[in-house]
Chains A and B, each alone.
Chain A
Amino acid sequence: MLAESSRGTARYRAVRSLGGWIGAAAFVGIAVALVGCHVDHDQSMLHPAGPRAERIATLWWVLFAVCTATFLITMGLATVGILRRSSTGEGASPLGNRFIFVSGAAIPAVVLMGILIASLGAQSADAKRDVDFTIVVVGHQYWWEVRYPDQAIITANEIHVPVGRPIGLELSSGDVIHSFWVPNLAGKKDMLPGQVNRFWIQADRPGIYRGQCAEFCGVQHAWMAFRVVALEPEEFDAWVAAQAPAEESVPAIDEEVARGKEIYFAAHCDGCHAIGGTEAEGRRGPDLTHVGSRLTLAAGVLPNTPENLAEWIRDPQGVKPGNLMPRTALHPEDLDALVRYLQTLK
């Protein structure tokens, strides 16, 4: 079947195939260019905002350069080898074991040794270090419990840190395995039940950095997000001061708010959600002591607005199907009052 007649078209086919390879290479180039253009995202590892992510981004560009060169050289060799019809085409290959050994083993070994050294270097630079203070983060299906033992603060789905300081994290889980990941600041670390994994992050620029669970943890794994809010030190101190548990003395602004608080207990919200300074001490869901000041609701699903909060309380399974919060049937007026009350908890 592969007689002389079909050989005539071989070169034509080869050229056509070359076109495909060039197209593919161009495609690679374009896609890579896109990476360059799109570094300004709030969950991009190529847009580092702290020393750990910075180191990884640098490491990536080194790896990218080395691997791209390797890829192009290998594909170039393959293309030349296929297109070039040597005079000895009919017979033994002009290339032998030495070529294979040098290009397939010896040179890669040297390159890989370099990569190994770079890897170990970056790894040791990232090793544990003295931290300013430690935050405990516990993963739950599908939200984040955040505790500041030193500052006696309990919050959820948002981690406030001062910029320029290494902050320790003690990561664990209340149910299944989750993974803590804020790409702008650092790589990820798993959160396992019955085990504490230590980690540290540092933000060098003030800003809000998005993070999300990176280990599949159940039906709403996709919407288990959080924010790291990096503040200037004095702003951070102000935030800490504002987080002091509200006293019972916090006055109800008006009657509707007072009614909203009654509804909170009447509808058994307190069974799962604690509010500092009140009798609500449930711990199954996020602490709501300062829910009014949060950026998002339902671990990143909705921006924190009164309308969204009402929607979330009315139909949590519609907003985030499969999450553990039950639907609460309330009169529209009662719902409004409840939302108003919660919004005052800043």
Chain B
Amino acid sequence: MTSATEALQRPAPPEMGPEAVNAREPDSAEASPAFVETWSSPPGWVGFFTEVNNQPIGKRFMATAFVFFLLGGLQALLMRLQLAVPENELLSPQFYNELFTMHGSTMMFLFAVPFLEGLAIYLLPMTIGSRDVAYPRLSAYGYWVYLIGGMVFYASYLVGAVPDIGWFGYTPLSTDRFSGISTDFWLLGLSLVEVAGLTAGLEIVVTILKFRAPGMTLARMPLLAWTFLAMGLMILIAFSVLLTATLLLEMDRSLGTAFFDVTRGGSDLLWQHLFWFFGHPEVYIMFLPATGIVSMIVPVFARRPTVGYVLIVSAIVLTAFVSFGLWVHHMFAAGLPDLSTAFFTASSLMIAIASGIQVFAWIATLWGSGPSLRTPLLFVLGFLFLFVLGGLTGVMVAVVPFDVQVHDTYFVVAHFHYVLIGGVIFPIFAALHYWLPKMTGRMLSERLGVWTFWLTFLGFNATFFPMHVMGFLGMARRVYTYPRELELAGYNLLATGGALLMGAGTLLLLINVLVSRRRGAPAGSDPWNADSLEWTIPSPPPVFTYLRPPSVRSRHPLWEDPTAASDRDENFASARDALAGRPVGWRATLVTDAIDARPQAVHHLPGPTLIPLIAAAATSLTAIGVLISAYILAAAAALVTAITVVLWLRPNGETLEQIRSSDVGRAAGLDLLPTGTRSTAWWGTVGTITIVSSAFGALFYTYFYLRLFSQEWPQGDATAPPLLIGGIAYGALIAGAASQVLATRLFERGLRRYAQLIGVGAVALGAVFLGASLFDLDNFDAAPWESAYGSAVHVLAFAMALATGVGVALSIAWQARVPRGHESERASLTLHAQVAGLWWRFLAAVGVLTFVTLYLGPRIG
């Protein structure tokens, strides 16, 4: 459907809105007490620690992220005070270097991404018509890990060993030769936050793909969901690479491997490649959801559908892809060949086109609509101004000869703050003014909002515009002071003044948020005459979100004209009725097809549990153990983590029986215990495989990068490993994969006995692989601390063994369950077999690549 015809179907604004929807769909009945009870958390502290519902978890993410935002802002203000005048001695150089390291790391890792993840966890289910996210316990786990990771980060201030190596942690400055435990705080705090990010990425992707309201095909999905989908997928790939890189660096530091030690054949540029392969997509991980926010607000204030929806979606997809081909533009001065830098110039320019499409789509949507300039739109317009400016300086720095002049100067500081504050924080502020009324039920003060906007906007420009000039005049980045003779004083003083204005703006926002909670005007369900589903439910929303699952027929469901509904439009009444105020006693939501959003199944969602907190504490303790060099503690905590995860994933027989015996959805033909692509477990496995594949990709990259730039390969006295044992090991792995895949097939067909018999092969052959491949490590003739080659082969082999161990454990657990499995567990066992099958397929694929790398890598070329 084109946007023009959509617009024609839309009635004049005053008639649209929730009244029309409610009138059309008389399902706003009272929720039964038992249903409310089903969705409620226990009172008090127990409820607080066992919470898994998306609304409180999402709010916690956002609130915690906002606290870190205030800390990061405070650090920025301190830096600006130090830089206000030349050769200032207000702060010590060490303290200043700690400030900019913590500021960058905080804003990137502890504020922007977690805030957007929190927004997604809170808002996405409402916007796409679901009751919760796909893995409620996982989002709770992610939150706890994030919180503890952030606290580990800041605990460095308590022990007086604050990270001081910059948010990019370039080696060798970040190796143990040049930095102490402060860098471990940075690496391990970061690792935890990355783990949290990965869980949120998985959560977001599967929620969007499987929990959309019936009728919300991909082509009707709100643009916010498109951007979050892109964000989630990018997190799965990019964060995984960063996590791998930080683990490799931590291994160099604490176990003595040699990945980044040039004296033992490692490479400093390898760190830069891995870091920026994450670091550039990271920018778009933050920026894309921000554009999604803008795309939600613009049509509402223009009171008309988005123009160029398909073009915007294409731009989002293009941005997500191309963002992985840009990383070298952070390394133009590093001494790479001209040809490769030219390629990265071209791809960097390409991304400007994707942004251009979005900008002009918003302008087209607003064109002549006479929008009312209330706070959310003001922030969106401010975003437009700042982002276009920052985007254009981005085009400039993509030009290699120009970049090598302004790289690591204040010109770049100006550029990326225009893109990140203008392009991300302005939309986040817009989102706060726009969606907080939904969260709290109270409007923010418009007067304070307008003041916040102008203070922030003018303060921002006064702070960052002069920085372009400072860069030209020779002010380098990451300097705690600058010489008088460079005559930078005036610009710096202006920038400091502007920063104080921005600080005042932020303070005003905080006041507005706090005051409005008590005194704000009641918001009602739809204060903006908006178009998307979240505005049909009360503000604040009930904990179950939707009493009866909604359905949609267009991109702007609240603006649909009920009278224009054609016979072809379905409203999926039977599936939605099946879940109206039900089930009771267990939480559930509707699962729909990933593409055309037809109802498929009723999905059971877990209730309050301590498991996420325990798992998060154990995970964090693993990192803390490494941090304080208590490796036995770390190993024990890792073991506890693994056990907790097993308990977590173990299906609960009682619950299964409760679901199976329920009659919810049966009449509507919905699966109660879905398997395969109808289940979230299947999608979660695919997502996990994506994460792990990306980590293996980083390891393969590491191996071949080192090989490419090494004088000799294998390094040192090592010789190429003999093929025989390796061949046996990897042959066994592939045969094991074949037997598990076959066993899964047979079980799906009901051939339980044969499936079990064949499945034994996976366990046995997996064990053969583990034994043979680890035994064969001796034949590589290179200890992990001897050379980078030794490090690379050991880490790769151990990673392969670990992944295989997971596969073997999945198969053993399945074998153990099958004989005892009653008919009621059939679906659960099928799903288990499917998950094992997926995992073994992945093992076979990555096994071939690992074999080629380890055994043929030293021989080819």
Contact = CB atoms under 8 A, between A and B. Distances in A.
Contacts of B178: 175-176, 218
A183 B404 CA distance: 10
B361 to A, nearest CB: 5
A38 interface: yes
B282 interface: no
B669 to A, nearest CB: 39
A78 B528 contact: no
A108 B302 contact: no
A265 interface: no
A96 B308 contact: yes
Contacts of A91: 7, 304
A292 to B, nearest CB: 22
A42 B485 contact: yes
Contacts of A60: 396, 402, 405
A219 B93 contact: yes
B478 A100 contact: no
B366 A222 contact: no
Interface in A99-123: 99-101, 103-105, 108-109, 112, 115-116, 118-120, 122-123
B155 to A, nearest CB: 22
Given A20-B457, A95-B367, A97-B307, A71 B389 contact: yes
A177 B170 contact: yes
Contact of A27 (B396, B461, B480): B461
B370 interface: yes
B775 interface: no
Q: Which 8 A-B pairs have the closest CB atoms?
A: A86-B368, A43-B474, A187-B404, A194-B262, A104-B360, A222-B479, A85-B370, A197-B335
Contact of B405 (A21, A53, A105): A53
A212 interface: yes
Given A187-B333, A192-B335, A221 B401 contact: no
Given A24-B461, A103-B356, A321-B94, A75 B388 contact: yes
A41 B349 CA distance: 32
Contacts of B302: 93
13 contacts: A1-B528, A20-B454, A59-B402, A67-B392, A90-B12, A91-B7, A94-B367, A97-B308, A112-B395, A176-B170, A187-B333, A188-B405, A212-B474
Contacts of A105: 353, 356-357
A14 interface: yes
A41 B170 contact: no
Given A93-B369, A216-B173, A104 B93 contact: no
Contacts of A220: 93
B317 interface: no
Given A6-B372, A92-B304, A321 B92 contact: yes
Interface stretch (B406-414, B424-432, B614-622, B810-818): B406-414
Interface string B264-281: 000011000000000000
Nearest to B307: A93
Interface string A257-291: 00000000000000000000000000000000000
Given A71-B392, A112-B353, A195-B335, A181 B304 contact: no
B469 interface: yes
Interface of A: 1-3, 6-7, 9-11, 13-14, 17, 20-21, 23-24, 27-28, 31, 34-35, 38, 41-46, 53, 55-56, 59-60, 63, 67, 70-71, 74-75, 77-78, 81-82, 84-86, 88-97, 99-101, 103-105, 108-109, 112, 115-116, 118-120, 122-124, 126-127, 175-177, 179, 181, 183, 186-190, 192-195, 197, 210, 212-222, 225, 300, 321-322
Contact of A321 (B93, B311, B476): B93
Contacts of A71: 388-389, 392
A226 to B, nearest CB: 13
B356 A63 contact: no
Q: How large is the interface on B (under 10, 10 to 19, 20 to 34, 35 or more residues)?
A: 35 or more
A96 B364 contact: yes
A61 to B, nearest CB: 11
Contact of A93 (B341, B365, B388): B365
Interface of B: 3-4, 7-8, 12-14, 92-94, 97, 164-166, 170, 172-173, 178, 262-263, 268-269, 302-305, 307-308, 310-311, 333-335, 338, 341-342, 345-346, 349-350, 352-353, 356-361, 363-374, 378, 381, 384-385, 388-389, 392-393, 395-396, 398-409, 443, 454, 457-458, 461, 465-466, 468-469, 472-474, 476-483, 485-487, 524, 527-529
Given A44-B472, A75-B385, A96 B269 contact: no
Contacts of B472: 35, 44-46
B172 A10 contact: no
A28 B474 contact: no
Nearest to B8: A92
Nearest to B411: A45
B372 A7 contact: yes
Contacts of B402: 56, 59-60, 63, 119, 122
Contact of B268 (A78, A89, A193): A193
Contact of A88 (B350, B368, B454, B527): B368
Given A46-B472, A101-B357, A219 B97 contact: yes
Given A88-B368, A175-B172, A177-B268, A56 B262 contact: no
Given A45-B406, A86-B367, A212-B476, A123 B400 contact: yes
Contacts of B461: 24, 27
Nearest to A128: B338
A95 B4 CA distance: 10
A45 B369 CA distance: 45
Contacts of B401: 55-56, 59, 119, 122-123, 126, 187
Contacts of B349: 112, 115-116
Most buried by B among A81, A82, A177, A213: A82
A89 B373 contact: no
